[in-house]
Structure 1
Amino acid sequence: MDRLSVIGIVLAIVSLVGGSILKGAGLASLWSPAAFVIVILGTIAAILVHTSPAVFAHAFRIVKWVFSPPASNREALIEQIVEWSNTARRQGLLGLESQVEQQDDPFLRKGLQMLVDGVEPETMRRMLEIELENREQQDLAAARVFEGMGIYAPTLGIIGAVLGLMAVMKNLADPTKLGHGIAAAFTATIYGIASANLFFLPMSNKLKTVIHGSSGEREMIIEGLIAIAQGENPRNIESRLAGFLH
């Protein structure tokens, strides 16, 4: 669980609610069905047009990474790779065959299988790097869905405010409705700017950080497996991979 993300979301809500109360606007001023329809549903509509169904679905599969990113323990992974290199030196690459099915990570399992199968190191590198790049591009495209929502939401907030002011203009003859109408109009602006800057854009950036971290770990896996395939000394492999810890 990413505690910072949870704390951030809680503080974002507190800042909106608390700010509204401290400013004297009250909680009721934050609720506007019309603003919700224009800004939130409008943002969803825009992003549906903006992106493909596959990317949109993938975005909502990985959104959980904001709060619960994939488990990562690079130190333990380096120890595992060094252990494999020792096994390969004693028993040969076929000695690692029993390890293949024990791997939960499909990328690591595929690389280890290629190592056992005796694939040439450079061929292995090309194949794994292609898979790494494709996976990273898919994940980044999904993260950009929330970035797109953060771009559209403020504009739709302005549209909501303009529509609200248009409604106010129709009631200029009744001064009792002006204050409430203007306040309701600007609620849409709050929805747009707040949702973009407190939720959508931070979520997109957090996902990008997680994705780059996962890619870095896979690069470490590639370097480790290639080093084993080339028969490097386990101590040298450990020293090389230690650079990925920083």
Structure 2
Amino acid sequence: MDIATIIGIIIGLAALIGGFLWEGGEVGGLMQLTAALIVFGGTFAAVMISFPVRRLKTIPRALKLAFTSANANTGQLIEDIVDMASTARREGVLSLEQKIAEHPDAYLREGIQLVVDGTDREMVKQIMEYDMDAAQYKYDGYAKIFESAGGYAPTMGIIGTVMGLIHVLGSLTEPTALGPSIALAFTATLYGVASANLIFLPIASKIKARGEDDITRMEMILEGVLSIQNGDHPILVRRKMDSFVTDMDAGLPSAASSSPSSSSASFMENDL
């Protein structure tokens, strides 16, 4: 579980509700089922209209990315790549076939298998970059769903407020009820703006960040596979791998390899 996502949402809600109470408001004033139905129901409907069903089915996987921590052990992955580089220099790349068979990283398995099979260096690079492009496409697709929800929610909030004001203007014969009715109408706007900026858009950003980390990891593996194929010394391979660790720690994509335009991945699920 990614504790940062959970804590962030809790702190955000606590800050909004706490500020409201500090000014003398009551929690009951924020609990309006009608406004929630208009905002969240309308947002969900708009997202359903915007994306095909096959894309909507990826929402649980997208949420899992946002609310769970990455499982990749970068340090161990570097040690494995350096060890393979050492083995390949001593015994040849064919000796890696058995070593790679049970490795948990599918992308590394695929790359080393291509090398073992005698695939040309440029072809290895091209195939693995295609996989990288497919991964980027997957993460972008996940994030776009929540970005769309973040765009629709404030608009639905405004619609809910306008509907509430229409009802208020139709009840001008009861002046004493105007204040509470107007407050109720604006609750919909609050729901829309708060959900967009506290839930939907931050989740989209978290998914993008996860994607950047994964793409950097894939770039590191690609560089390691090409170094093994080239017969580079293990010390040189380690230095190359360490440069990627700095990029991942900083949360920045690495510039070590270019990104092609094609999109396919044999090692991934066909999510999109």
Shorter-chain TM-score above 0.5 = yes
Paired residue for 2:71? 71
Distance, in Å, in 2 between the alignment partners of 1:70 and 1:3 is 12
Native 8 Å contact 1:17 1:27 kept in 2: yes
Paired residue for 2:156? 156
Native 8 Å contact 1:56 1:142 kept in 2: no
Distance, in Å, in 2 between the alignment partners of 1:24 and 1:109 is 61
- Aligned partner letter, 1:236: L
Distance, in Å, in 2 between the alignment partners of 1:45 and 1:89 is 58
Distance, in Å, in 2 between the alignment partners of 1:139 and 1:53 is 17
Shift of 1:17: 2.2
Paired residue for 1:233? 233
Number of aligned residue pairs: 246
Shift of 1:31: 1.3
Percent of matched pairs sharing the same residue: 38
Native 8 Å contact 1:59 1:143 kept in 2: no
Paired residue for 1:84? 84
Deviates more, 1:44-53 or 1:218-227: 44-53
Distance, in Å, in 2 between the alignment partners of 1:105 and 1:45 is 38
Deviates more, 1:122-131 or 1:48-57: 48-57
Shift of 1:68: 1.2
Paired residue for 2:34? 34
Distance, in Å, in 1 between the alignment partners of 2:161 and 2:205 is 28
User: SS at 1:119's partner residue?
Assistant: coil
Residues 147-166 of structure 1 show CA distances to partners (whole Å, capped at 9, x for unaligned) of 11111111111110000000
Where does the alignment leave 5 or more consecutive residues of structure 1 unmatched? none
User: SS at 1:154's partner residue?
Assistant: helix
Report whether the alignment pairs 1:204 with 2:242. no
User: SS at 1:118's partner residue?
Assistant: coil
Paired residue for 1:10? 10
Distance, in Å, in 1 between the alignment partners of 2:38 and 2:205 is 25
Equivalence map 1:137-148=2 (5 Å): 137-148=137-148
Where does the alignment leave 5 or more consecutive residues of structure 2 unmatched? 247-272
Distance, in Å, in 2 between the alignment partners of 1:38 and 1:102 is 51
Residues 175-204 of structure 1 show CA distances to partners (whole Å, capped at 9, x for unaligned) of 222112111100000100000011111111
Distance, in Å, in 2 between the alignment partners of 1:27 and 1:159 is 23
- Aligned partner letter, 2:53: P
CA gap 1:105/1:62 in 2 versus in 1, 3 angstroms: farther
Distance, in Å, in 2 between the alignment partners of 1:23 and 1:161 is 22
Paired residue for 1:99? 99
Deviates more, 1:65-74 or 1:171-180: 65-74
Distance, in Å, in 2 between the alignment partners of 1:106 and 1:232 is 23
Shift of 1:136: 1.1
Native 8 Å contact 2:108 2:225 kept in 1: no
TM-score, scaled relative to structure 2: 0.86
- Aligned partner letter, 1:125: K
Shift of 1:123: 0.5
Distance, in Å, in 1 between the alignment partners of 2:133 and 2:50 is 23
Distance, in Å, in 2 between the alignment partners of 1:139 and 1:245 is 21
Native 8 Å contact 2:32 2:187 kept in 1: yes
Distance, in Å, in 1 between the alignment partners of 2:175 and 2:79 is 74
Residues 71-122 of structure 1 show CA distances to partners (whole Å, capped at 9, x for unaligned) of 2332221111010011111221121112233122322221122122121111
